[in-house]
Amino acid sequence: MDTLFIIAINLSVIILIVLAVFQLYWALGGNRFLAGAWGGTYTVLPLRLRISSGFSVLMFTFAIALVLIKVGTWHTGLSTSAASWALLAFAPIFLLSSLANFASKSKWERYLNAPTSLLLAVMFLFIALNQYQGND
């Protein structure tokens, strides 16, 4: 594995863990740091957005699993090539998230979340297209 690939793997997993922890906190009713989430307009999330935060936790967890499967760290019934295809599917999702965050009224979303989502999109594309196939 080359150094850039290792950095992309580690950085993407770390970012996704941090995002999942914040989303879980908000899903469970936490209200700190909401200026950087859901448009930055809420001091307390309504139930529908708490449910959406819970869904985000699942999506981020699945994305972490895909990265770990791709590099052969976690062995499941899913092949590394299937994980690569799934990672390719996540890249445009993160790109759309980035565009939505760049358009947000929230400074936190524009200056933190948008570049973070864009970085994840690029890293997922890079990881997915890398020839490394784990231990298939």
- Would residue 98 count as lying in a domain? yes
Name the 3-class secondary structure at 73: coil
> What residue numbers bound the domain in which 99 lies?
3-129
Eight-state DSSP code of residue 109: I
Domain count, the chain: 1
pLDDT score of 127: 94
- Would residue 117 count as lying in a domain? yes
- Would residue 7 count as lying in a domain? yes
Amino acid, res. 81: S
- Would residue 83 count as lying in a domain? yes
- Would residue 136 count as lying in a domain? no
pLDDT score of 53: 95
Q: How far is the C-alpha of 40 from the C-alpha of 18, rounded, in Å?
A: 18
Alpha helices for the chain (secondary structure H)? 3-27, 47-70, 80-102, 107-108, 114-129
Tens of pLDDT, residue by residue, the chain (136 residues): 688 999 999 999 999 999 999 999 999 999 888 877 888 788 889 999 999 999 999 999 999 999 999 988 888 888 888 999 999 999 999 999 999 999 988 888 899 999 999 999 999 999 999 877 655 4
Query: Could you tell me the sign of the dihedral formed by the alpha carbons of 41, 105, 100, 124, in that order?
Result: negative
Residue 20 contacts by C-beta under 8 Å, 6 or more apart in sequence? 56, 57, 60, 61, 64
pTM of the model: 0.89
pLDDT score of 79: 87
- Would residue 134 count as lying in a domain? no
Q: How far from 14 is each of 2, 42, 50, CA to CA, in Å?
A: 19, 26, 23
What's the token pair of residue 75? Answer: 């062995």
pLDDT score of 136: 47
